[in-house]
Homo-oligomer: A and B are copies of this chain.
Amino acid sequence: MDQVERLEAIGEIRRMKARYFRGIDEKDRDLLREVFADDVELDYRGSTTDPVTGINAAADATSSVLRGGEECAKLVVASLQGIVSVHHCSEPEIEIHDASNASGIWPMVDRLRFPPAAPFSEMIGYGHYRETYIREGGKWRIRTLRLTRLRIDLTPA
Interfacial residues, chain A to chain B (CB-CB below 8 A): 3-4, 7-8, 10-11, 14-15, 17-19, 21-22, 25, 52, 84-94, 105, 107, 109, 111, 113, 126, 128, 150-151
Q: How far is the CA of A59 from the CA of B150 in the complex (A)?
A: 25
Chain B residues near A19 (CB, 8 Å)? 93
Q: Report copies per complex.
A: 3
CB atoms of A151 and B22 under 8 A apart: no
Can you list 30 pairs linking A and B with CB atoms under 8 Å apart?
A3-B4, A3-B8, A7-B7, A7-B8, A7-B11, A10-B11, A14-B91, A15-B93, A15-B94, A17-B91, A18-B91, A18-B92, A18-B105, A18-B107, A19-B93, A21-B107, A22-B105, A22-B128, A86-B150, A86-B151, A87-B90, A88-B88, A88-B90, A89-B90, A89-B91, A90-B90, A91-B92, A111-B126, A111-B151, A113-B151
Top 8 closest A-B pairs, CB basis?
Answer: A88-B90, A18-B91, A86-B126, A18-B93, A84-B151, A89-B90, A15-B93, A89-B91
CA distance in complex: A85, B52 (Å): 12
Q: How far apart are A73's CB and chain B's nearest CB, in angstroms?
A: 18
Given contacts A15-B94, A22-B93, A22-B107, 17 further A-B contacts (CB under 8 A): A3-B8, A7-B7, A7-B11, A10-B11, A18-B92, A18-B93, A18-B105, A21-B90, A21-B107, A22-B128, A85-B150, A86-B107, A86-B151, A88-B88, A88-B109, A89-B91, A113-B151
